A and B are shown apart, each in its own frame.
Chain A
Amino acid sequence: MQVGIAEYKITAGPNRLITLGLGSCVGVSMYDPVLKLGGLLHIMLPDSTQFKDVSKPAKFADLGIPLLISDLKRRGGNVLRFQSKLVGGAQMFSGMDKKIILNIGERNYKAARQILNDLRIRILAEELGGNRGRTMIFDTANGDVFIRTLGGVNRVI
């Protein structure tokens, strides 16, 4: 199941959730290992309060993460068991223009970490920052997250 930009999807039982080409965006996986219930969220921005249009809450870390959690809870997930993994938040561009480089990637993953900490969700693993794009594949059979980068380096976290 493919998770688009500024979207989240949930699946119960063995399945694969995939989000392609994360750059400064951050993929947040959430897993209840007992029910094998999992969700994957693709956020673009850290903070919705700076924007007027929040019609797509999954775009923002501060709205998307609580939304994912409440949806998993509605499907019987137990928040005490939830395990999260974070992938992405890269700084993709090299160059001299400091006006463009806002390092939104770092702001995204710091916001995601903070929100998860505030909600007392355990972060089991991370693959964040750097300057490479990443594809994130979340296997809800066991909670493994596969990371694919340019050059085919595959990692499992």
Chain B
Amino acid sequence: MIDFQNYGPIQMDVLSEIGNIGIGNAATSLSKLVNDRIDMTVPKACFLPYEEIIALVGGPEEIVGCIVLRLEGDVPGTIIYIFHQESMFSLVDMLLGLELGTTNELDEMAESVVMEIGNILTGSFISAISMMSQLHMVTTVPLFAYDMLAAVLMTSLIDTGYIEDQVLLIETKLSQKDKEIKGNFFLFTDPGALEKVFMSLGISMEI
């Protein structure tokens, strides 16, 4: 897939900055939705083995909600959001204007709310990147799974074609000050996709 020897510190910084702009915009949208401030960590672009990604998020059997969308257009790739069980329920409560703690299982309504969150976050993510880079980006409809972290993350990676031992990802943690909401955002890009981003930003592929 990606020959990561080709990326130097400048390229990795650019990727982190892209994550910063995109997820910053997405976090703002989420803040508006839940009417509370959502903070984010500075996104990191890195190559990681699967096990480390899983450990980073919370362990193989951690129960999570996972939203997966494909990016199409100039920058094909995959976007994955992971929310821990409790965070997902809190998000649903906040969005539906229910008292926190009301939602404690994932029914059809809750599931569609979570998918809509994925849509909104991704919409604001790609509009920020498109505006900056003039690249054309569209997303597919979100897929959703609610299960053990290793099962959902591995399946989403394999299904979208990321089968190498190490994957490049831009990783961000979203959190709210009273810790009702904790989530992770991952962007995986397809081979060749990043070259287009770098070119449109006038960054040479020479290290």
What is the CA–CA distance of A32 and B143 in the complex, to the nearest angstrom?
Answer: 41
B142 at the interface (CB under 8 A from A): yes
**Could you tell me if A55 and B165 are in contact, using CB atoms closer than 8 angstroms?**
yes
Q: Which of the 9-residue segments B32-40, B92-100, B120-128, B149-157 touches chain A? A: B149-157
Tell me the B115-163 residues at the A interface (CB within 8 Å). Answer: 115, 140-152, 154-156, 158-160, 163
Q: Which of the 9-residue segments B22-30, B60-68, B172-180, B182-190 touches chain A? A: B60-68
Residue of B nearest to A56 (CB): B165
Shortest Cβ gap from A100 to chain B (Å): 5
B164 at the interface (CB under 8 A from A): yes
B50 at the interface (CB under 8 A from A): yes
Residue-by-residue, is A119-151 near B (CB-CB < 8 Å gives 1, otherwise 0)? 000000000000111110000000000001010
What is the CA–CA distance of A143 and B16 in the complex, to the nearest angstrom?
Answer: 48
Out of A56, A100, A133, A134, which one reaches B152, CB within 8 Å? A133
**Could you tell me if B148 and A44 are in contact, using CB atoms closer than 8 angstroms?**
no
B195 at the interface (CB under 8 A from A): no
What is the CA–CA distance of A86 and B41 in the complex, to the nearest angstrom?
Answer: 41
**Could you tell me if B142 and A104 are in contact, using CB atoms closer than 8 angstroms?**
no
Out of B50, B70, B115, B152, which one reaches A92, CB within 8 Å? B152
In the complex where A23-B147, A44-B154 touch, is A5 in contact with B159 (Cβ < 8 A)?
no
In the complex where A44-B158, A100-B160, A101-B159 touch, is A23 in contact with B144 (Cβ < 8 A)?
no
What is the CA–CA distance of A25 and B152 in the complex, to the nearest angstrom?
Answer: 10
**Could you tell me if B165 and A23 are in contact, using CB atoms closer than 8 angstroms?**
no
What is the CA–CA distance of A101 and B152 in the complex, to the nearest angstrom?
Answer: 13
Number of interface residues of A (CB under 8 A): 36
Out of B51, B115, B148, B163, which one reaches A133, CB within 8 Å? B148
In the complex where A5-B154, A20-B60, A100-B68 touch, is A95 in contact with B144 (Cβ < 8 A)?
yes
In the complex where A5-B51, A56-B165 touch, is A93 in contact with B156 (Cβ < 8 A)?
yes
**Could you tell me if A93 and B164 are in contact, using CB atoms closer than 8 angstroms?**
no
For A92, list chain B residues within 8 Å (CB). Answer: 145, 147, 151-152, 155-156
For B156, list chain A residues within 8 Å (CB). Answer: 92-93
**Could you tell me if A95 and B60 are in contact, using CB atoms closer than 8 angstroms?**
no
In the complex where A24-B158, A92-B156, A102-B159 touch, is A135 in contact with B148 (Cβ < 8 A)?
yes
A22 at the interface (CB under 8 A from B): yes
A-side binding surface: helix, strand, loop or mixed?
Answer: loop
For A95, list chain B residues within 8 Å (CB). Answer: 68, 115, 141-144
Tell me the A27-60 residues at the B interface (CB within 8 Å). Answer: 44-45, 51, 53, 55-56, 59
For B163, list chain A residues within 8 Å (CB). Answer: 44-45, 51, 59
For B141, list chain A residues within 8 Å (CB). Answer: 95-97
Instruction: Among A23, A53, A96, find the residue whose CB has the most chain B CB atoms closer than 10 A.
Output: A23
For B54, list chain A residues within 8 Å (CB). Answer: 21
For A22, list chain B residues within 8 Å (CB). Answer: 150-151
**Could you tell me if A23 and B150 are in contact, using CB atoms closer than 8 angstroms?**
yes
20 example contacts (A-B, Cβ-Cβ < 8 A) are as follows A4-B51, A5-B51, A21-B54, A25-B151, A45-B163, A59-B163, A93-B68, A94-B143, A95-B68, A95-B143, A97-B70, A97-B141, A100-B159, A104-B158, A104-B159, A133-B150, A135-B60, A135-B148, A150-B63, A150-B146
Measured CB to CB, the residues of B under 8 A from A are: 50-51, 54, 60-61, 63, 68, 70, 111, 115, 140-152, 154-156, 158-160, 163-165
